[in-house]
């Protein structure tokens, strides 16, 4: 048990101290770090790695919004408000550049504001295609990755060779495989891997060097495998949405004996769901991964598969219900919700919709709703 606790505390430390992690890494290696804005910086992360730099996920955080209000109206999502606040407060001063994917309408503006407020730090746009499955879309994205790579090379002062990129893809693929393995194994140990620790393991991967995260994951997996399977007596849920914060919500789930057994979170399984397939041409490999990806509100999907994906998660993991963590003012997620609701209702899967923000005055209302949901599940 001590080994497991010790490993989990390392994940927890990184998740709570991203600034420290970046500083230490820069000091140790003398290399640079690049901030990656949500949601799909995947691909660019491999390029950052291949240029010898550290990709750092920028998904906001707990803060008080003051300076950002001069740039963003009240109806901007709390993640991007926090990102702007951190940028303006100098929290990101150890970052040597940003990757900004075209995630949503808000993120058409955020890179413009980052550039405008701090012209010293390069902001590299990553414009992912909507027509991602047809050849012109795949070829375009491969070229886009090349252009992103060229900008990153300039920051790093180091060329990205195909060989280095192939190697980085392997490092990231291995990490994704381990994450996937861990998330499955976690369901046998829901007493240890509580919603909070599950989130800590996932979140820390956005800050730690992937090799180190993989190494810790390996250790954790080995330690968990040595333990007998725990028979979870509470209820099991699948969560969907952008992320599972503020932290207080995670502890509330535990308070009501709800375990997270599967997720369709943007800051979660959507990052690890599919590997980069084998191939000779690394940029085409990265583009093909995006073509093959399914199930994110910010990735074009005329068939609207998300409901089906969530239903499958429920089935595979024997979940009792689904919680939609709706990030307030997240348009893409808000557009997806009614069809997710329809699809789950058709399959008689209990569903709870809670609205969250990173900066919440009170989570008491959520507590009441989670309690009611857990009681409803118990009665079923």
Partner 1 sequence: MTKVLAKDAVKTIQAEYYANALEAKERGQLVAWVTSIAPREFLEAMDIITIYPENHAAAIAAKKNSMEMMAIAESMGYSTDICSYARTNLGYVEAGDCAAGKLPVPDLLVCCNNICNTVTKWYEILSRRLNVPLIMIDMPFSHENEINDRAIDYMVGQFKHMISQLEQITGKPFNYERFQESMELSNQASLLWKEAADFGSMHPCPFNGIDFFNYMALIVCMRGNEKAVEFFTLLRDEIAEKAARGEGYLENEKYRILWDGIPFWFNLRAMFRSLKNYDACMVGSTYPDNWVLPYDVNDLRSMAKAYTSIFINRNFDYRVKNMMRLIDKYDVDGVIFHSNRSCKAQDFAQYAMSRKITELTGVPTVVVDGDQNDPRAFSEAQYETRVQALYEMIDQRKAAASAGR
Q: What does the longest C-alpha to C-alpha distance in the chain come to?
A: 61
Name the token pair of 285.
Answer: 């490999």
Q: Kindly identify the residues of this chain, within the stretch 54-83, that bind partner 1 according to CB under 8 A.
A: 70-73, 75-76, 80
Residue 233 in the binding site for partner 1 (CB under 8 A):
no
Please identify, using beta-carbon distances, which residue of 146 and 212 lies nearer to partner 1.
Answer: 146
DSSP codes, 103-167: -SSHHHHHHHHHHHH-TTS-EEEE---SS-SSHHHHHHHHHHHHHHHHHHHHHHTS---HHHHHH
Handedness of CA 340, 15, 175, 97 (dihedral sign): positive
Told to check if 108 binds partner 1 by CB under 8 A, we report yes
197 binds partner 1 (CB under 8 A): no
One of 67, 180, 212, 328 touching partner 1 (CB under 8 A): 328
Nearer to partner 1, 89 or 254 (CB): 89
Map tokens 């497991």 to a residue.
Answer: 4
Q: Which one of the spans 45-53, 97-105, 248-256, 371-379 is the region binding partner 1 (CB under 8 A)? A: 97-105
Binder of partner 1 out of 209, 262, 321, 332 (CB under 8 A): 332
- Contacting partner 1 (CB under 8 A), which of 31, 65, 91, 109? 109
Indicate which single residue of 24, 116, 278, 375 sits in contact with partner 1 (rule: CB under 8 A).
116
3-state SS class at 324:
strand
Contact assessment for residue 323 and residue 314, using Cβ atoms and an 8 Å cutoff? no
Distance CA 109, CA 168 (A): 30
Other Cβ atoms within 10 Å of 12 Cβ, number:
18
Q: Does 312 bind partner 1 (CB under 8 A)?
A: no
Helices and strands, counts by H and E, the chain: 15, 8
Q: Please give the distance of CA 44 from its chain centroid, rounded to a whole number.
A: 14
**Minimal distance in Å, beta carbon 344 to partner 1?**
12
The token pair that represents 229 in the structure block:
């399977």
Which position among 5, 20, 62, 134 is part of the footprint of partner 1 (CB under 8 A)? 134
| Contact call for residue 249 and partner 1 (CB under 8 A) | no
337 touching partner 1, by CB under 8 A? yes
Q: Residues 35, 125, 209, 321: which binds partner 1 (CB under 8 A)? A: 125
Report angle CA 243, 249, 255 to the nearest 5 degrees. Answer: 140
Cβ atoms within 10 Å of 371's Cβ, excluding its own? 14
Query: Both tokens of residue 246?
Result: 């503020």
- 120 lines the binding site for partner 1 (CB under 8 A): no
In this structure, are residues 324 and 337 in contact, taking their beta carbons and an 8 Å threshold? yes
List 124's β-bridge partners, or say none.
99
Residues in the chain: 380
- Site map 155..194 versus partner 1, x via CB under 8 A: ----------------------------------------
Which CB atom, from 164 or from 326, has the smaller least distance to partner 1?
A: 326
106 binds partner 1 (CB under 8 A): yes
Report the C-alpha gap between 150 and 147 in whole angstroms.
Answer: 5
Q: Is 226 in the site for partner 1 (CB under 8 A)?
A: no
Tell me the number of residues near partner 1 by CB under 8 A.
56
Which lies closer to partner 1 via its Cβ, residue 83 or residue 259?
83
* Residues near partner 1, by CB under 8 A: 70-73, 75-76, 80, 100, 102, 104-106, 108-113, 115-117, 123-125, 127, 129-131, 134-137, 139-140, 143-144, 147, 297-298, 300-304, 326, 328-329, 331-332, 334-339, 341
């Amino acid at each position: 048990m001590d080994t497991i606790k010790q490993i989990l505390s390392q994940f927890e430390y990184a998740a709570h101290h991203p600034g420290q992690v970046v500083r230490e890494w820069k000091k140790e290696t003398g290399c640079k770090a690049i901030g990656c804005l949500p949601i799909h910086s995947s691909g660019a992360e491999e390029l950052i790695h291949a240029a010898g730099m550290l990709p750092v996920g920028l998904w906001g955080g707990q803060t008080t919004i003051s300076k950002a209000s001069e740039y963003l109206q009240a109806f901007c999502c709390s993640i991007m408000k926090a990102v702007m606040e951190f940028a303006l407060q100098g929290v990101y001063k150890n970052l040597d550049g940003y990757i900004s994917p075209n995630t949503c309408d808000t993120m058409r503006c955020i890179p413009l504001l980052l550039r405008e407020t701090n012209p010293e730090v390069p902001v590299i746009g990553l414009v992912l295609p909507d027509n991602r499955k047809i050849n012109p879309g795949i070829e375009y994205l491969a070229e886009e990755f090349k252009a992103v790579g060229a900008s990153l090379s300039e920051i790093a002062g180091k060329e990205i060779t195909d060989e280095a990129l192939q190697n980085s893809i392997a490092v990231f693929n291995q990490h994704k495989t381990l994450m996937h393995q861990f998330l499955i194994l976690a369901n046998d140990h829901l007493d240890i891997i509580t919603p909070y620790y599950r989130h800590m393991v996932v979140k820390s991967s956005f800050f730690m060097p992937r090799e180190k995260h993989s190494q810790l994951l390996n250790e954790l997996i080995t330690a968990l495998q040595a333990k007998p399977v725990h028979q979870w007596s509470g209820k099991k849920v699948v969560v969907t949405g952008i992320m599972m914060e503020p932290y207080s919500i995670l502890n509330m789930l535990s308070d009501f004996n709800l375990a997270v057994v599967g997720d369709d979170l943007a800051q979660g399984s959507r990052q690890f769901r599919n590997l980069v397939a084998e191939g000779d041409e690394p940029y085409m490999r990265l583009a093909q991964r995006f073509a093959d990806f399914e199930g994110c509100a910010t990735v074009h999907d005329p068939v609207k598969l998300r409901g089906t994906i969530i239903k499958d998660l429920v089935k595979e993991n024997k979940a009792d219900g689904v919680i939609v963590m709706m990030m307030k003012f997240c348009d893409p997620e808000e557009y997806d919700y009614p069809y997710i609701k329809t699809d789950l209702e058709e399959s008689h899967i209990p569903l709870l919709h809670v609205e969250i923000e990173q900066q919440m005055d009170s989570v008491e209302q959520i507590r009441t709703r989670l309690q009611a949901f857990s009681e409803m599940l118990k009665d079923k």
